[in-house]
Structure 1
Amino acid sequence: MRFTVTIQLNQSEIPKDRSRIFLSLIKFWLEKENPELFHKLYGSKATIRKDFTYSLFLGDCKFKREIIEIPDKQAFLNLSSYDPGLGIHIYNALLKGKGHIYSYKDLSMCIRDIQLQKEKLISTDVAFFQTMSPCVVREHHEETNRDWFYSLSEEKGRKLFLQNVQIQVVETLPEAKEDAQEMEIEVFKNKEVKVKHYGIEVLANICELEIKAKSYILDYLYKAGIGSLKSTGFGMLKVR
C-alpha cells in the first residue's frame, strides 16, 4: 500500500532534524485512532521491525545551517507499507487527522489531502530502484552501544548493506532464508549526504540500486523500504 499525504505548515522554516517531526505526526494520529497498534509498534521497550517506510518531498526548499526554508509551507509525505493491514491502519489514522491541527513545538501541521498511489508490479528476478529517501548502512556495536555509519561508495559499506538487507528480509520472511543468501546488490550514482536525525548527523546515501533476487523479495523491499532506520524517514524506494 502506497499513498501521499499533503501537509500544510504554519511557517516557512522547519528544523533540519525533520524526520522526528513528521514521524511524531504519524504517531500522534495512530495513537488516537488505534492505541493497541500504537503500543505494539512504539510502546514496548523491545525494538520491533516496522515494515513501512516513508519519504518527504519539500518542494522548492533551501537547506541552511540549522533550518530548512519551505517557501510554500507545504510538505508531501510519501508512505509505503508491505503489510496491507498496517498500511490501512496508518492511512485511516492520518485520514482521521485530516483538517485538524497537530503542533510540534511552534510548528503547526494540518493534513490537507491523502491520495492513494498505484504500486508497480515486480514479476522478474531483477529490479532497478531509485531512492526516494536516503538509505542508511549502520553497524551497531553491542558492547559499546554505539552506531557506525558507512557509505555505499566504499566496499565495506556495500558488503555491510547487503548483510543488513538479508537480515531484514529473513526477519519478516523466514521462508526466504536460502533465497536471501542469493541476493546481489549493485550501487550506481551514489551521492553521500549527511542527515540530521534525532540530534546526530547520519551518513546516508542517495543512489540507484540494481537488485537481483526472487521477485517476492524485490516486492518486499519495494514496499517495506531498505536498510537501517527505514521506518524513520530513510530507505524508501521507487521502481526506476
Structure 2
Amino acid sequence: MIIPLDYRKVFIAFIKKALTEAKGGEYFEKFYRDTLAKSFSFSVVFKQPDFKKDKIILGANQLKVLFTAIDDAQVSLIMYMAFIEQKNKAFPLPFENEMVLRTIYEKKAEKIETNKVIFKTAPGSGLCVREHNRETNGDNYYVFNDEAFTEKLFTVLRSQAERAGFNKQVAEKIRCKPLNCKKVVVKHYGCLLNISIGMLQMEADVKLLQYFYDAGIGSRHSAGFGLVDLVAQDLF
C-alpha cells in the first residue's frame, strides 16, 4: 500500500467527511466553522513504513489512527458516532488506493490528579509551535533547541488555554520545558514543518493539564500534531 508523504491532510479530509455525513452534517460547523478552536487531536501510526521522497510504502496494508477528544458529550460522542457511520465504507486515497475503517477500539483516558506531569509525544505525533506573522501572512516554526522556543511555546499554550475557555490567570501560570527531545521535519499541506518529538515537563492547573492531554497540545493540534501520552504525575 502506498500513501502520500503529506498524509495528515488525508485524515483531516476523512474527519470532515465523517462530520459532513453524520446527521445530515449538522455538526460540521461545530468543528470547522471559521477559526473555531477544536478540542481533539489525532496521530497516524503505520505498520512497517518505508519513507520515500514523496510517498510512504507500507509493509502491510494496515494503519492505526489514534484519536482523542475532551471528555464532553458534545465533542467525544459526536466524533465517535461520526466515525461509527464510516465503518466499512471505502475512502479514496492518492495513488489509486483506498482505506476502509474496520474496527474502532475505545480506550479510557487516564485522569490527571496533580498540577505537575510529564507528557511524551505519542507515536506518529509531535509538538508543533507556530508563530503567525499577520503582516507577511507567513509562519515560523520553533523546535526545542531554538533560543526562542520556550517563549513561543508559552504564547501558543496560553492562547490555546484561553480559547478553550480558561481564564487569563490560569493560562498565565503554565510552565513547560522539553526533555530528551529531537527535531523532525514533516510535510504538511505542501510545506516542510519543523516539529519536536520527545517528553515535556508541564506544570499548570489540573483541569488545564487534563484539557491538553485530551485535546492535544500546541499549534495545529487538531491536524495531526500535539497528541501526547501521560508518562508521570507529580514526580518532580
Q: Same fold (TM over 0.5)?
A: yes
- Aligned residue for 2:116? 126
Report what 1:209 is aligned to: 200
Tell me the secondary structure at the aligned position of residue 174 of structure 1: coil
Q: Under a length normalisation based on structure 1, what TM-score does the superposition of the two structures give?
A: 0.90
Which residue of structure 2 aligns with residue 8 of structure 1? none
Length, aligned pairs only:
226
CA RMSD of aligned residues (A): 1.2
Paired position in structure 1 for 2:146: 154
Which structure dedicates a bigger proportion of its chain to strand? 1
Query: Structure 1 residue 107: deviation in Å?
Result: 2.4
Tell me the TM-score normalised to structure 2 length. 0.92
Residue by residue over 1:108-150, the C-alpha shift from the partner in whole angstroms, topping out at 9 and shown as x without a partner, is 1100100101211111110110001111111100111111111
Q: Which position in structure 1 is the counterpart of 2:187?
A: 196
Alpha-carbon contact 2:50-2:57 (below 8 Å) kept: yes
Deviation digits for residues 88-114 of structure 1 (CA, Å, limit 9, x no counterpart): 111111111111111134221100100
- How far residue 83 of structure 1 moved from its aligned partner, in angstroms, is 4.8
Q: Aligned to 2:15, which of 8, 19, 26?
A: 26
Would you tell me which structure has more helix in proportion to its own residues? 1
* Contact 2:3-2:93 at 8 Å conserved across structures: no
Q: Which residue of 2 aligns with 1:4?
A: none
Which stretches in structure 1 are left out of the alignment for 5+ residues?
1-11
Three-state SS of the structure 2 residue aligned to 1:229 is coil
Q: Give runs of ≥4 in structure 1 deviating > 4 Å.
A: none
1:179 partner SS: helix
| Structure 2 unaligned blocks of 5 or more | 232-236
- 1:146-165 CA distance string (max 9 Å, x none): 11111111230221011110
Letter aligned with residue 229 of structure 1:
R
- Take 1:62 and 1:33, find their aligned partners in 2: how far apart are those partners? 35
Amino acid at match of 2:70: Y
Corresponding residue of 1:174: 166
Name the structure 2 match of 1:135: 127
SS of equivalent residue, structure 2 residue 56: strand
2:215 corresponds to which of 218, 224, 231? 224
